[in-house]
Structure 1
Amino acid sequence: MLTTSTTHKITWEKLPDDFVLDDEPVDNINQPLLAAALTESLEQNGKLPTNALTTTNYGICATLNNRLVVKAPDWSYIPSIKVSREEVKRSYTPRLEGDIPVIVMEFISDTEGNEYSSKPTYPPGKWFFYEQILQVPNYTIFEPDTGVLEVYKLDDSGRYKLQTADANNRYWIAQMQLSLGIWEGMRENRTGYWLRWWDENGELLLWGSELAARERQRAEAQSQRAEAESQRAEAQSQRAERLAQQLRAAGIEPEE
Structure 2
Amino acid sequence: MATQLSEAKSSNQLVITWEALPDDFQLKDEPVENTGQPILAGALRESLELSGFIQPQMLIASNFGLCATINGQLVVKAPDWVYVPSVKEVRENRKSYTPILEGDIPAIAIEFLSDTEGGEYSVKRTYPPGKWFFYEQILQIPIYVIFEPDGGLLEYYQLENGRYELKQPDENGRHWVDSMGLFLGTWQGTKEARTGYWLRWWDQAGNLLPWAVEQIEQERQRAEQERQRAEQERQQKERLMAYLKSQGIDPENLPPLE
Shorter-chain TM-score: which interval? Answer: over 0.9
Deviations 1:190-230 (A, max 9, x none): 00000011111111111121111111100100011001101
Aligned residue number for residue 65 of structure 2: 59
Aligned residue number for residue 228 of structure 1: 232
The answer to whether the aligner puts 1:109 opposite 2:131 as a matched pair is no
The answer to whether the aligner puts 1:97 opposite 2:88 as a matched pair is no
Give the TM-score, by structure 1 length: 0.92
Select the residue among 174, 177, 190 that pairs with 2:178: 174
The answer to whether the aligner puts 1:26 opposite 2:65 as a matched pair is no
Aligned residue number for residue 119 of structure 1: 124
Select the residue among 39, 42, 47 that pairs with 1:36: 42
Bigger radius of gyration, 1 or 2? 1
Select the residue among 76, 79, 93 that pairs with 1:70: 76
Give the count of matched residue pairs.
247
> RMSD value over aligned CA atoms?
1.6
Measured in 1, the distance between the counterparts of 2:72 and 2:87 equals 24
Measured in 2, the distance between the counterparts of 1:201 and 1:151 equals 21
The answer to whether the aligner puts 1:141 opposite 2:124 as a matched pair is no
Deviations 1:21-70 (A, max 9, x none): 12243111110010011111111112212211111001111111111111
More displaced 10-residue stretch of structure 1: 9-18 or 127-136: 9-18
User: What is the one-letter code of the residue matched to 2:178?
Assistant: A
Identity of aligned residues (%): 57
Measured in 1, the distance between the counterparts of 2:141 and 2:116 equals 22
Give the TM-score, by structure 2 length: 0.91
Instruction: Compute the displacement of 1:255 (Å).
Output: 6.4
Unpaired stretches in structure 2, ≥5 consecutive residues: none
User: What is the one-letter code of the residue matched to 1:243?
Assistant: Q
Which structure dedicates a bigger proportion of its chain to helix? Answer: 1
User: What is the one-letter code of the residue matched to 1:195?
Assistant: L
Measured in 1, the distance between the counterparts of 2:186 and 2:216 equals 22
Instruction: Compute the displacement of 1:113 (Å).
Output: 4.8
1:192-203 to 2 correspondences below 5 Å:
192-203=196-207
Measured in 2, the distance between the counterparts of 1:24 and 1:123 equals 15
The answer to whether the aligner puts 1:159 opposite 2:163 as a matched pair is yes
The answer to whether the aligner puts 1:219 opposite 2:227 as a matched pair is no
2:56·2:90 contact (CA, 8 Å) conserved in 1? no
Measured in 2, the distance between the counterparts of 1:175 and 1:218 equals 32
Measured in 2, the distance between the counterparts of 1:202 and 1:147 equals 20
What SS does the aligned partner of 2:247 have?
Answer: helix
